Amino acid sequence: MATTPKNGTEMAMIDCAMIVVTTEEETPRSVAITSATKLGVEPQIETTEAVKLMIKGVLKAQKPERKTITGHTLTLTDNMTILELIEILQGGTLTKDEDGTITGYTPPVTGSEYKPVKFTLDAYCSQLDEGGNVLQYEKTTYPGCSGQPVALSSEDNVFRVHEYTINSAPSKGEAPYTLSYVEALPTVGTDVGA
């Protein structure tokens, strides 16, 4: 008996509405990024080659190749410098005055072992209707993330654009990402440590 096809659930998704990075430390830090212009996602796949039994040029049997997903490489493109994010991605220390205003940043010292902080990255994308209204937000959560060192390039008459490279490697038994749908973006405060 033939199965009658049904329409799939169609959603019009647009924008990198918000990125939230939350560390997996004893006292977690959480940074919201609303200036991001793009989040590129590339699955990381390990391939086990096929095994073929060939006798005198004739294929007798084969074991097909196998592919295993090991995580994702995320590339976050942002047009603002967010030092709290850089501190999470590559380590180092932010210095602040008594009002909490950043007065400087020192990266890890040359020759030291690179020990990235583990974090979860939540990416929010807007679903729109025919009238341009936001119906809901798609939240994609990437577990087991760690950053790579960040370069601070500059050019005359050009605003700096950062490309942050993030590796997401989930733990054993954990999905490489999860999707959920929420009615509103998270409320953003001013204290990164909260």
Q: Mean per-residue pLDDT for 159-188? A: 93
Q: Where residue 191 falls among pLDDT bands split at 50, 70, 90? A: low
Please say if the pLDDT value at position 190 is more than 70. no
pLDDT per residue as tens digits for the range 94-135: 999 998 899 999 888 888 877 789 999 999 999 999 999 999
Please say if the pLDDT value at position 75 is more than 60. yes
120, 160, 186 from 175: Cα distances, Å: 13, 34, 23
Residue 92 CA to residue 40 CA, distance in Å, equals 26
Strands 36-48 and 30-33: unpaired
**What is the percentage of the chain residues whose pLDDT exceeds 90?**
58
Looking at residue 194, its pLDDT comes to 42
pLDDT per residue as tens digits for the range 20-54: 999 999 999 999 999 877 999 999 988 999 899 88
| CB of 120 closer than 8 Å to CB of 30 | no
**What is the percentage of the chain residues whose pLDDT exceeds 70?**
97
Strands 51-55 and 36-48: unpaired
Please say if the pLDDT value at position 151 is more than 50. yes
Main-chain dihedrals φ then ψ at residue 87, nearest 5 degrees: -60, -40
17, 41, 193 from 179: Cα distances, Å: 15, 14, 26
Q: Mean per-residue pLDDT for 159-180? A: 92
SS3 5: coil
Residue 30 CA to residue 67 CA, distance in Å, equals 34
Please say if the pLDDT value at position 73 is more than 70. yes
